[in-house]
Amino acid sequence: MAISRLRSMISLSKCKSTAMSLPFQFSIFRRASTQVSSQFESIGFIGLGNMGSRMANNLVKAGYKVAVHDINENSMKKFSDMGVDTKKTPFEVAEDSDVVITMLPSSSHVDNVYTGPNGLIHGGNLLRPRLLIDSSTIDPQTSRKLSETVSNCILKGKKDNWETPKMLDAPVSGGVLAAEAGTLTFMVGGSEEAYLAAKPLFLSMGKSTVYCGGAGNGSAAKICNNLAMAISMLGVSEALALGQSLGIAASTLTKVFNCSSARCWSSDTYNPVPGVMEGVPSTRNYDGGFASKLMAKDLNLAASAAKAVGLKCPVTFQTQKIFPVRNLSNSQQLQLPATL
């Protein structure tokens, strides 16, 4: 009830907008005329959802030889229509790639793609790729477990002084808009040597990278980042709803926030009120944004991590209560911040 009331208050000052949805559009491309500045040439990409499809497309634009896989045939067809090689299984992707990048919904999906039937390491302890990069948002424990599994494998063909395969956990921040524009931020855990080797790849899909330390630290940084974002989005949404109820236009209050101490990503880049900012989900009836069910998943990861280390996080647990996606039907699992 509180969620519906807050959403209704946010909608009070909804402006009529002519902004149209900007769906991801593939375009015919030409391979870059200059050679890509990376020791890796063939890149496999698994997971062609809202984020992964755009990240893979930017690798294609950068001139890499890309092979892709997804369980969604329509997603695969978009790439095959562009002339990009599509594979039936993760194992087939691995057999044709120097590097494999995964962008998947959850820890269980990642674990299955790595170790399940026809997974990346389905062929035993022999691996063709020198580097595996997981950009999914998952728990640090799964990242660390898979990193150890990969490090115990043997390379099929040693090249460029790589003695053993490596894995990096490299989740991203910036959302669909940044994935489209190639301006993502990568937070990376794992071997620093592997991180430096992969940096040109990251910068083909993003604008900045942060090395966070050993295996699992990228995943840890990501869940902390998303926890802070969820809390700030709730604060901005509630404050804008209160301001409108007190007679202040959302656009005016946003200007106040953005030149005052309340300024944050939720106010100046991803504003939750329709009509205040161009090109954001709130202007498109909350379409094409970050799904509330994924935010709920990330909050669960943060809460579980806090419990595991014995840290009391009262705001985290309170925030969880405002994302009750488990009780919603598929049609109600709206985009953040539509459910706020």
Side chain identity at 317, as an amino acid letter? F
**Is there a contact between 293 and 105 (Cβ–Cβ < 8 Å)?**
no
3-class DSSP state for residue 3? helix
Q: What number of residues does the chain have?
A: 340
222 is catalytic: yes
Q: Are strands 99-102 and 206-213 parallel, antiparallel or unpaired?
A: unpaired
d(CA 248, CA 325): 31
Give the containing element (helix H, strand E) for 197.
helix 192-205
What do you get for the CA distance between the two ends of the chain, in Å?
11
d(CA 53, CA 45): 9
3-class DSSP state for residue 88? coil
Which residue in the block uniquely carries the two structure tokens 């930017």?
58
Q: Are strands 85-86 and 65-69 parallel, antiparallel or unpaired?
A: parallel
Active-site residue, from 65, 166, 222, 293? 222
Q: Which residues are catalytic?
A: 222
